Amino acid sequence: MKDWLQTLPKAELHLHIEGTLEPELMFELAARNDVALPYASIEEVRAAYNFTNLQSFLDLYYQGMNVLYTEQDFYDLAMAYFERAHQDGVVHIELSFDPQPHLSRGVAMRTLFAGLGQAREEAERRFGMSTALIMSFLRDRSTEEAMDVLEQAAPWYEQIDAVGLDSAELGNPPEKFAAVFERARTLGIARLAHAGEEGPAAYISGALDVLDVCRIDHGVRCVEDEALVARLANEQIPLTVCPLSNVYLKVFERLEDHTLPAMLDHGLCVTLNSDDPAYFGGGMLNNFVACHEAFGWDEDAFRSLARNAIEAAFMSESRREQLL
């Protein structure tokens, strides 16, 4: 089954590029940029990945990305992931990046777009891979800062397929970013948001009603609200579920306890994704294999999940036809 899942053409819609930073590259970039790391060895980094909730992960995620400074660093980070994803049989990737932590360290906005843009072009040339770019705002920082980031990105709007909303969910409801997302809408930029990962089902409704998002990242807590489930099913709102992430962040104790089978029973438009593969036990293929082992899904089930992702992706209609 693993071999078959590898050959299944997969689109990944929920991937934080900073969450693809493997400890080996972290050490290499730390040396290159003369950044001190709080770890003595690669093994020590991996041993630290022992999360109790979303915040305990985010602390290490922000710490890890402190080694990224130059255009070359962002290129190397993205290219290393594109290569691994290509080996997993991924044919389309929508990578999200978080400008704020980098801007705060003095990295220029153009460095981010240039490095990631170069890697995207190279992935297209070398692997025939298509990609899309999602610029995400940190919901645990201010609305004003997010608005400022959106304005600073003006020279690169053409490269942005959507804006997203991530980081610490609880206590940072979607409504906080109504004005920022309204501005993005005016600019003609599509909108996404993490919702219903640690936060309640009401954050999913809020993201749909107030932020006018076209997809929900995670959304696994939707099952707590029957009316919301009916709405998500009726409107076929894509949910970018990240199975291994949910287990690593203790959203569910074990994958067997995940609401994924119930979500499929309700007729929801589910897609499978890796979220932060360097931190959560691997990439797309590992997520697919883990679901096969936990739920016993057959080839038809995975074909249908992969199709959902291709249908929900930001890609040209000719590319979509080619992949369907």
Q: Which residues are catalytic?
A: 197
Return the structure tokens found at 299.
């080839």
How many residues can be counted in the chain? 324
Is 275 annotated for ligand binding?
A: yes
Sheet-wide strand order for 270-272: 10-16, 90-97, 130-138, 162-166, 190-195, 215-218, 239-241, 270-272
Return the structure tokens found at 224.
């707590």
Shorter beta-carbon distance to Zn ion: residue 76 or 217? 217
Give the type of residue at 248: Y
CB of 84 to ligand ES4, least distance (A): 18
Q: Does 94 bind Zn ion (CB under 5 A)?
A: no
DSSP-based three-state secondary structure for 234: helix
Q: Tell me how many degrees the CA angle 184-186-187 measures, rounded to the nearest 5.
A: 65
Cα gap 307→324, rounded to integer Å: 7
DSSP-based three-state secondary structure for 251: coil
Contact 307, 269 (CB under 8 A): no
Contact 165, 174 (CB under 8 A): yes
Q: Which helix (H) or strand (E) element contains residue 123?
A: helix 109-127
For 305, phi and psi rounded to 5 degrees? -65, -40
Shorter beta-carbon distance to ligand ES4: residue 8 or 217? 217
Is 34 annotated for ligand binding?
A: no
Is 16 annotated for ligand binding?
A: yes
By CB under 6 A, name the binding residues for ligand ES4: 16, 19, 54, 61, 166-167, 194, 197, 245, 275-276
197's contact among ligand ES4, Zn ion, none, with CB below 5 to 8 A by partner kind, is: ligand ES4
CB of 147 to Zn ion, least distance (A): 22
Cα gap 290→203, rounded to integer Å: 28
CB of 78 to Zn ion, least distance (A): 16
161's contact among ligand ES4, Zn ion, none, with CB below 5 to 8 A by partner kind, is: none
CB atoms within 10 A of CB 87: 12
CB of 98 to Zn ion, least distance (A): 10
19's contact among Zn ion, ligand ES4, none, with CB below 5 to 8 A by partner kind, is: ligand ES4
215's contact among ligand ES4, Zn ion, none, with CB below 5 to 8 A by partner kind, is: none
CB of 61 to ligand ES4, least distance (A): 6
120's contact among ligand ES4, Zn ion, none, with CB below 5 to 8 A by partner kind, is: none
Shorter beta-carbon distance to ligand ES4: residue 100 or 245? 245
54's contact among Zn ion, ligand ES4, none, with CB below 5 to 8 A by partner kind, is: ligand ES4
- 220 alpha-carbon distance from chain centroid: 15
Shorter beta-carbon distance to ligand ES4: residue 8 or 15? 15
Is 292 annotated for ligand binding?
A: no
Shorter beta-carbon distance to ligand ES4: residue 8 or 173? 173
Is 14 annotated for ligand binding?
A: yes
CB of 217 to ligand ES4, least distance (A): 8
Q: Does 98 bind Zn ion (CB under 5 A)?
A: no
Residues 266-295 that bind Zn ion (CB under 5 A): 275
Return the structure tokens found at 59.
């602390």
DSSP-based three-state secondary structure for 208: helix
Show binding-site residues: 14, 16, 194, 275-276
- Give the residue numbers of the binding site for substrate: 276
Using CB under 5 A as the criterion, which residues of the chain lie in contact with Zn ion when the complex forms? 275
